[in-house]
Amino acid sequence: MKHIIIAACILLVDFSAGFYLPGMAPVNYCNKNDLDKNCKSDILMYVNRLNTEESVIPYEYNYFDFCPPPDSAESPVENLGQVVFGERIRPSAYKLTFMKNATCEKLCTKRYNAQSESRLSTLRKGISLNYQHHWIVDNMPVTSCYITEDERTFCTTGFPMGCFWRQGRNTCNMNINTDKDSLFLYNHVDLTITYHSGAAEEWGTKFGGNGGRIISVKVVPRSIKHDDGLDCNIRTPLEIPKNLQGDFEITYSYSVTFVPNNTIKWSSRWDYILESMPHTNIQWFSILNSLVIVLFLSGMVAMILLRTLHKDIARYNQIDSGEDAQEEFGWKLVHGDVFRPPRKGMLLSVLLGSGVQVLCMTLVTLAFACLGFLSPANRGALMTCAMVLYVLMGTPAGYTSAIIYKSFGGEKWKSNVLLTSMLCPGFVFGLFFIMNLVLWSQGSSAAVPFTTLLALLALWFLVSVPLTFVGAYFGFRKRALEHPVRTNQIPRLIPEQSIYTKPVPGIIMGGVLPFGCIFIQLFFILNSIWSSQMYYMFGFLFLVFIILVITCAETTVLLCYFHLCAEDYHWWWRSYLTSGFTAMYLFLYCCHYFYSKLQIEGYPSSFLYFGYTLIMVFLFNLLTGTIGFFACFWFIRKIYSVVKVD
């Protein structure tokens, strides 16, 4: 069994890493003298927003007063996911021509004086907070590579806009002779563009060896003080003055070198980025062994439960006389109350409907991701797919909420439909809108434009709400669920419970095992969100998600059985909260990650971090709570349908 899981995981990861979205065809470049309608000579470089691990607030490229692009340059079309995530891809002023090297080319010169002190102050702020550039060439991120202490090559998808020298902390990789705190701007970049000439390929021979496909673009930033003329061999760094006195100039420059490489194919050009991402090459088999242990433990729990339950059912069905019936104990004694409708049944049915909506969205999104449709090459596709699927899954949400509410004997069907379509999405959108106001006030590029907010509202009210009404219509038209046993008119008295069978301890313990399945993957996911690292292990994530579903279901069923044996029949809300409490451990882990891994400064950034965390925790609570409820619902209907009840 262990070898099968290992093989399946490797196949899923390899398949998802090597597959690209259809339509994202490679671009052929060629020399200017060999122009063809199927090739290009000009290489477009785009710049994305700048971000940092010390702040949640990103900014657009032009916020820091870098060299502006030509007026005729057009920005590429961004999808919904890119806009919501705050990506702002803009054209750059860099002019790159295929197979044409450039040495110390001037980009532009920025001049500052007393009237433009604010622009220089913004530049100081970006350097001191270690904001990172993110450039794109041929749909590939421009990477910065260096050698680690263990002699491995580490490539990151961004590079700093500058460095600082402070007492006790130095981020500059150059010799600096100063005793005072200083800020240095990287105003020069050395670009190395590696291309596959394809001499043996059909498309390569077409251009007579003067064509190729870009494999990688690597950058080495430098700080150069261009005093007289343009000289990129100067070793004196460009220091940004703390107090501007007189005029100050910044000259931006760049160099480009083209290097052929026919050993790496275009389809494998992302490998060097994904393989060198930090923490992604950890002990795969140790993680897998831990998952197998969790799965094995869950299997053992299920075996013990089924074996004990089989004996209970056999003993109950052998009871024939009334004298024997008086000796009954355990879960059969509460058969007349186990299907008694819970308090706040309306709210529970609404949460379950929204949980089914999140569950369906997660399953379909992970399926697309495993097939490679949401690869890193397709920016914003993951978020776009998740939002569109969430909107389209309004029908199963309305159907589930209606049929559960009807089984509770509820009659306020209008309130049920409205709450299902408005409560949970409204909570998420309200939090998102409040955080968007904070981003607006900070002038951040992550602030969603007003037109995009209107588009999100249109998706909600014009698509999701009608689909929820359609699902609720079919749910209320269906006959109410028939329970296997009748409910008594007078509720049974629940005996005094021990500390182990009381609701709160059971709920707290119920989330431990499911959280143990996901906390390793959670570390990678948080890194991808807050540390600008790419997440691509969707095959492995899909296996972890399946194990999470199984563990939530089995843990909830086991604790539900113990409570029924203790003659406590209040299982409706408890089954939801038992597995749903995994979200609380998720919140605690996010708090630990904030204080131990991140260096976020400022109240706005902290507010945004915990705001986004609250949205993630709420959706995860809906997901895990719904899984636990329906597992317990199926279990209880099953066991009470196979026993003889007088």
Of 202, 246, 238, 18, give the one whose Cα is nearest residue 124.
238
**Burial class of residue 222 in the structure, from the number of CB atoms within 10 Å of its CB (0-12 exposed, 13-18 middle, 19+ buried):** buried
Q: What confidence tier does 585 reach under pLDDT thresholds 50, 70, 90?
A: very high
- Sheet containing strand 239-240, edge to edge, reads 169-170, 162-166, 182-185, 239-240
Please check the confidence at residue 276 and state whether its pLDDT lies above 80.
no
The alpha-helical segments, DSSP class H, found in 531-602 are 538-565, 572-580, 582-596
**Burial class of residue 305 in the structure, from the number of CB atoms within 10 Å of its CB (0-12 exposed, 13-18 middle, 19+ buried):** middle
pLDDT at residue 146, as a whole number: 80
Tokens 């150059």 sit on residue = 174
pTM above 0.85, yes or no: yes
Residues 205-235: tens digit of each pLDDT: 555 566 788 999 999 999 888 877 788 888 8
Take residue 155 and report the two structure tokens written for it. 């490539």
Please check the confidence at residue 317 and state whether its pLDDT lies above 50.
yes
User: For the chain, what is the mean pLDDT?
Assistant: 82
pLDDT at residue 370, as a whole number: 86
User: Across 295-309, 439-453, 610-624, which has the greatest mean pLDDT?
Assistant: 610-624
Please check the confidence at residue 7 and state whether its pLDDT lies above 70.
no
The Cα–Cα gap between 132 and 222 comes to 14
Take residue 551 and report the two structure tokens written for it. 């563990």
Q: What confidence tier does 179 reach under pLDDT thresholds 50, 70, 90?
A: low
The answer to whether 162 and 126 have CB atoms below 8 angstroms apart is yes
The answer to whether 359 and 553 have CB atoms below 8 angstroms apart is no
Torsion of CA 167, 168, 171, 174, to 10 degrees: 70
The Cα–Cα gap between 307 and 499 comes to 25
pLDDT at residue 5, as a whole number: 38
Please check the confidence at residue 199 and state whether its pLDDT lies above 80.
no
Q: Output 424 or 303, whichever has higher pLDDT.
A: 424
Residues 378-387: tens digit of each pLDDT: 788 888 999 9
Q: What confidence tier does 74 reach under pLDDT thresholds 50, 70, 90?
A: confident
H helices, E strands: number in the chain: 19, 21
Q: Output 71 or 104, whichever has higher pLDDT.
A: 104
Which of 146-155, 214-223, 260-269 comes out lowest in average pLDDT? Answer: 146-155
Q: What confidence tier does 400 reach under pLDDT thresholds 50, 70, 90?
A: very high
Single-letter amino acid, residue 591: C
Residues 524-535: tens digit of each pLDDT: 888 888 877 777
The Cα–Cα gap between 615 and 432 comes to 8
Please state at what angle helix 450-459 crosses helix 413-441, rounded to 10 degrees. 170
pLDDT at residue 207, as a whole number: 56
Please check the confidence at residue 493 and state whether its pLDDT lies above 50.
yes
Take residue 550 and report the two structure tokens written for it. 């199984």
Please check the confidence at residue 311 and state whether its pLDDT lies above 80.
no
Which of 115-124, 286-295, 308-317 comes out lowest in average pLDDT? Answer: 286-295
Please check the confidence at residue 406 and state whether its pLDDT lies above 80.
yes
Q: What confidence tier does 471 reach under pLDDT thresholds 50, 70, 90?
A: very high
Q: What confidence tier does 474 reach under pLDDT thresholds 50, 70, 90?
A: very high
pLDDT at residue 512, as a whole number: 87
